[in-house]
């Protein structure tokens, strides 16, 4: 088998763990290389780091063409399978095929505006938010061409089931089960009590329009932004639109343990300790 190793480059534990995994793979007769080395499409990508590293790895290798096994060398590690200290032992289960595959939904979207269409995708969520603006933004939201609400606030978040336990949760949005086919739309600091989270089917077409937002719109540093997975960011001008729905592909995550989602949520997100 051919493996692609993607460690966090500034994390010493991640680098050391990735080296141990590479050594074990070669001992068992497998081929491996480290990102960003080029080569054939791998049979699996092994990510070593925290959740941010997992999101970067998926962003750098989109399309769901191969499964992802994630080893936690970071903090929360919600998207990972095992701790770095258990990685070499768990690797035997991976190589022997004693794993479960969980396919994670992605969001695919298109930003439309004066600069032309710009595609984006995300595993967790995207936000349309005021960024450095000194005042709130006005957003019109529709689902499948039906107007849902027009409101003023700091922005709107759209999350996948995977992302429902991230920024969405901190905003008071609902948690979706990992195998759910739904999306959650959560307003960010709305000025009205009607700005409550909404759960919609994943195949729905979500559309947002940013309305004119004031005299500082000529200042690029003071423009609202579209941000995907907390990394990819586009400035938004008056009248720009964002359309998105569940993607045409999924990310297959490898799990060596049959861990309950509810246990993972409790341990990773609610202050408990985890052995992963």
**CA angle, residues 272, 53, 274, in degrees to nearest 5:** 15
Rounded distance between C-alpha atoms, residue 276 and residue 269, angstroms: 13
Is residue 227 pLDDT above 60, yes or no? yes
Asked if residue 60 belongs to a domain, the reply is yes
**Which CATH number does the domain housing residue 86 bear?**
3.40.50.10330
Domain count, the chain: 2
Q: Is the pLDDT of residue 220 over 90?
A: no
Q: Which pLDDT score is estimated for 10?
A: 95
Is residue 275 one of the residues assigned to a domain? no
Mean pLDDT score across all residues of the chain: 90
Same structural domain, 169 and 225: yes
Domain match, 188 and 217 both: yes
Cα gap 171→185, rounded to integer Å: 11
Do 244 and 121 share a structural domain? yes
Residues 67 and 138 reside in one and the same domain: no
Q: Is 38 among the domain residues?
A: yes
Two structure tokens written together for 222? 């003071």
Residue 128 maps to a domain: yes
- 200-205 long-range Cβ contacts below 8 angstroms, 24+ apart: 200/143, 202/105, 202/245, 202/246, 203/245, 203/246, 204/143, 204/144, 204/245, 205/143, 205/144, 205/145, 205/243, 205/244, 205/245
Q: What are phi and psi of 80, to 5 degrees?
A: -95, 170
Q: What predicted TM-score, i.e. pTM, was given to this entire model?
A: 0.91
pLDDT of residue 128: 94
In a domain, 55, yes or no: yes
The reply to whether 276 falls in a domain is no
Give per-residue pLDDT as tens, 38-69.
889 999 999 999 999 999 999 999 999 999 99
Task: Examine the domain organization and report whether 237 and 157 are in the same domain.
Answer: yes
Residues 128 and 240 in one domain: yes
Whether 134 and 170 map to the same domain: the answer is yes
Domain encompassing residue 178: 106-248
In this structure, are 85 and 111 located in the same domain?
no
195 confidence band (pLDDT: 50, 70, 90)? confident
Same domain, 178 and 76: no
Q: In sequence order, which residues have a C-beta less than 8 Å from that of residue 187 and are 6 or more positions away?
A: 151, 153, 155, 156, 157, 195, 196, 197
Can you give the CATH number for the domain in which 122 is found? 2.60.200.30
Residue pair 112/243 in contact by the 8 Å Cβ criterion: yes
Q: What is the pLDDT of residues 168-179, one digit of tens each?
A: 999 999 999 998
Average pLDDT of the segment spanning 188-192: 86
Query: Within this chain, do residues 224 and 264 fall inside the same structural domain, yes or no?
Result: no
Q: Is residue 173 included in any domain, yes or no?
A: yes
Do 125 and 69 share a domain, yes or no? no
Residue 272 or 128, more confident: 128
Report the catalytic residues: 51
The verdict on 10 and 91 lying in the same domain is: yes
pLDDT at 255 over 90: yes
The beta-carbon contacts of 7-13 under 8 Å, at least 24 apart in sequence, are 7/34, 7/47, 7/48, 7/49, 7/53, 7/73, 8/48, 8/49, 8/50, 8/52, 8/53, 8/73, 8/74, 11/48, 11/49, 11/50, 11/53, 11/73, 11/74, 13/73, 13/84
Local confidence band at 272 (pLDDT 50, 70, 90 cut-offs): very low
Residue 274 lies in a domain: no
């Amino acid at each position: 088998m051919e493996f692609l190793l993607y460690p966090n480059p500034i994390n010493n534990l991640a680098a050391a763990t990735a080296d141990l995994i590479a050594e074990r793979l070669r001992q068992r007769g497998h081929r491996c290389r480290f990102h960003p080395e080029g080569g054939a499409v791998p049979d699996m990508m092994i990510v070593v780091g925290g959740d941010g590293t997992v999101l970067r790895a998926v962003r750098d290798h989109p399309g769901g063409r191969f499964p992802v096994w994630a080893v936690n060398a970071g903090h929360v590690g919600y998207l990972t399978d095992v701790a770095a200290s258990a990685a070499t032992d768990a690797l035997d289960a991976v190589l022997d095929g004693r794993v479960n595959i969980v396919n994670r939904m992605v969001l695919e979207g298109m930003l439309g505006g004066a600069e032309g269409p710009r595609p984006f995708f995300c595993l967790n969520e995207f936000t349309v938010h005021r960024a450095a603006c000194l005042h709130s933004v006005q957003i019109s939201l529709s689902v499948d061409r039906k107007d849902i609400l027009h409101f003023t606030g700091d922005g709107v978040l759209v999350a996948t089931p995977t992302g429902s336990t991230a920024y969405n949760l901190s905003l008071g949005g609902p948690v979706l089960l990992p195998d759910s086919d739904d999306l959650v739309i959560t307003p960010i600091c709305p000025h009205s009590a009607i700005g409550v989270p909404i759960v919609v089917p994943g195949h729905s077409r979500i559309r947002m329009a940013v309305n004119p937002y004031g005299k500082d719109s000529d200042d690029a540093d003071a423009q609202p932004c579209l941000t995907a997975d907390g990394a990819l960011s586009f400035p938004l001008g008056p009248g720009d639109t964002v359309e998105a729905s569940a993607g045409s592909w999924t990310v297959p995550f490898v799990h060596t343990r049959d861990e309950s989602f509810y246990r993972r949520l409790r341990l990773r997100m609610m202050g408990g300790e985890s052995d992963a």
